[in-house]
Amino acid sequence: MPPIKKTKFKKKKQKHKKPQKPSKCGGTGVTAEVKASESDWWEAFSAKMSSSGPRISDEEEKFKHFFRVSKKTFEYICSLVREDLISRPPSGLINIEGRLLSVEKQVAIALRRLASGESQVSVGDAFGVGQSTVSQVTWRFIESMEGRAKHHLQWPDAETIERIKAGFEAAFGMPNCCGAIDATHIIMTLPAVETSEEWCDHERNYSMFLQVVVDNKMRFLDIVTGWPGSMATSQLLKFSGFYKLCQSGERLNGSTKLLPNGAQIREYIVGSAAYPLLPWLITPYERESLSTAMVNFNSKHKPAMLLAQGGLAQLKCGWRILHKAMWRPDKHKLPSIILVCCLLHNIIMDTGDTLQPDIAVSDHHDPGYKQQYCQEVDTLGQSMRNDLSRYL
């Protein structure tokens, strides 16, 4: 089954309204109110959350606790989506006091929804808006980020790849390694009319798959999502564009490295035993009796491989809408939500921002799921793994 296609929404025709009378401050009344809301939304939100949330004295840390990003990164995100959020304000984007929402407040609502995973009702109550407004604002933000922030998730150029390879070799001793791969399940609670074996995974949860490739700093280099969780991890790989590019020689096709023993090592990524052993995807040895060289190889391979797990754990714990069971999600919209959370994960790194200390960096991203195993072995992949084993 191909990944589900995202729906595109037709723009509604806007009714022409009579121009508003200028306010005393020189603009229209609506403009003045929007400008006012830009400066007071955080104070109002902070005051409301302080009564029930954790007491954090530092203003910057408090902001990051609720939205996962610093104020500086928040401003950058606003700059990305500002044009879209201003250009087509629907009539529904009015709060309960009858004021238009500023771009900053819209972004704050969307980030809070993604970061907390709380219901639309709870998020709306915190900002003084209705559930439908939270829904509209969040989806408009996601649509905008898909187009405006896609440069934060692209396969790196040759110069960046060389830095990544140097990072893997310095940390783990793995020469010419370009990344680590893993996959996770985004669990869904589906209505009875939509439940089917197609979406029911091996642990009897309804879920959607997300596959990621990360660099040596757990930044996402490639993702694929939209496929049912019932698939095997190795099957998901083979349906991905990443697999097709690597198999055709269009990716992981940079310079080879000559080892002291004369072996030529091409570019590759590392993955768990759930993946096939390929010339460009190196998995651990899984025999019952392993030689000293094989054991040593696995000890180097494992921490490099776990970077992908760490990246997924950070993603789910940072953007908790993906960590909780998604309540009756639109399966056509869910891939977009997942993508934008991955973009936000990368933006935090790209802007030099830091993660909150309460975000897990080592917990497994799929608690309760058993390790999968793939028996497929490519002879060229086997030969390269043996060369790496002898070198290490």
Residues 130 and 161 in one domain: no
Q: Which amino acid is at 294?
A: M
Residue 168 domain boundaries: 152-391
Q: Which residue has the tokens 């995202």?
A: 6
In a domain, 18, yes or no: no
- Last residue of a domain, which of 148, 181, 215? 148
Sequence-separated contacts (24+) of 103-106 with Cβ below 8 Å: 103/38, 103/78, 104/38, 104/41, 104/74, 104/78, 105/37, 105/38, 105/41, 106/137, 106/140, 106/141
In the chain, % of residues over pLDDT 90: 69
pLDDT of amino acid 361: 52
Of 32-41, 46-55, 313-322, the one with minimum mean pLDDT is 32-41
Tokens 């829904």 sit on residue: 135
pLDDT band at 36 (very low <50, low <70, confident <90, very high): very low
Q: Of 288 and 78, which is predicted with more confidence?
A: 78
Distance CA 142, CA 338 (A): 10
Whether 40 is covered by a domain: the verdict is yes
196-200, 254-258, 282-286, range with the lowest pLDDT: 196-200
Whole-number pLDDT of residue 87: 67
Q: What is the pLDDT of residue 269?
A: 98
- Describe the crossing of helices 59-67 and 103-116 by its angle, rounded to 10 degrees: 70
Gyration radius (Cα) of the chain, Å: 24
- For residue 59, what pLDDT is reported? 86
Residue 4's contacts (CB-CB under 8 Å, 6 or more residues apart) are 226, 331, 332, 335
Question: Does a structural domain hold residue 199?
Answer: yes
Q: Are residues 209 and 301 in the same domain?
A: yes
What is the predicted pLDDT for the residue at 91?
53
| Residue 1 domain-assigned (yes or no) | no
**The pLDDT of residue 30 is above 70:** no
Residues 69 and 109 in one domain: yes
Contacts of 26 (CB under 8 A, 6+ apart): none
Of 235, 189, 264, 240, the residue nearest 376 (C-alpha): 235
157 and 306 together in one domain? yes
Decide which of 95, 129, 148 is a domain's last residue: 148
Is the pLDDT assigned to residue 6 strictly greater than 70? no
Q: What is the pLDDT of residue 134?
A: 93
Q: How many helices (H) and strands (E) does the chain have?
A: 12, 8
The pair of structure tokens assigned to 350 is 């790209």
Give the pLDDT mean for 6-12: 42
Q: Does any domain span residue 352?
A: yes
Q: What is the pTM of this model?
A: 0.87
Per-residue confidence (pLDDT) for residue 298, from 0 to 100: 97
Helices (H), 88-157: 103-116, 120-127, 131-148
In a domain, 21, yes or no: no
What SS3 class is residue 295? Answer: helix
- Asked whether residue 178 falls in the same domain as residue 276, the answer is yes
Same domain, 384 and 260: yes
299 pLDDT above the threshold of 90: yes
One domain, residues 234 and 123? no
Which of 134, 127, 108 has its CA nearest to residue 44? 127
pLDDT at 20 over 50: no
In the listed set 95, 119, 148, which residue is the last one of a domain according to the structure?
148
Q: Mean pLDDT check: name the lowest of 16-20, 97-101, 129-133, 369-373.
A: 16-20
Calculate mean pLDDT across residues 246-259.
Answer: 96
Burial 373-384 (b: 16+ CB within 10 A, else e): ebeeeeeebeeb
Average pLDDT over the chain, rounded to whole? Answer: 87
> Is 372 within a domain?
yes
Residue 10 resides in a domain: no
Task: Give the model's confidence band at 136: pLDDT under 50 very low, under 70 low, under 90 confident, else very high.
Answer: very high
Domain identity same for 170 and 51: no
Q: For the CA atoms of 200, 202, 207, 209, what is the dihedral angle to 10 degrees?
A: -130
> Are the beta carbons of 253 and 186 closer than 8 angstroms?
no
Element (H, E) at 214: strand 206-214
Reference 312, options 220, 244, 242, 226; nearest CA is 220
Give the three-state DSSP class for 312: helix
CA angle, residues 284, 252, 227, in degrees to nearest 5: 70
| Cβ-contact 294, 266 below 8 angstroms | no
Residues 222, 357, single domain; the answer is yes
Same domain, 45 and 190: no
Which among 275, 259, 337 is positioned nearest to 4, based on CA atoms? Answer: 337
The mean-pLDDT minimum among 127-136, 193-202, 291-300, 301-310 falls in: 193-202
Distance CA 368, CA 309 (A): 14
CA distance 368 to 202: 11
How many degrees, rounded to 5, is the angle at CA 341 between CA 140 and CA 93? 20
In the numeric block, which tokens belong to residue 52?
Answer: 């029930």
Q: Which of 29-33, 39-43, 91-95, 203-207 has the lowest mean pLDDT?
A: 29-33
As for how many domains the chain has, the answer is 2
User: Could you give the CA distance from residue 19 to residue 197 in angstroms, rounded to a whole number?
Assistant: 55
- Report yes or no: 360 and 317 within 8 Å, Cβ to Cβ: yes
What amino acid occupies position 371?
Answer: Q
Asked if residue 263 and residue 279 are part of one domain, the reply reads yes
262 & 188 share domain: yes
For the chain, percent of residues with pLDDT exceeding 70? 83
**How far is it, in rounded angstroms, from Cα 221 to Cα 380?**
25
The confidence score (pLDDT) of residue 390 equals 93
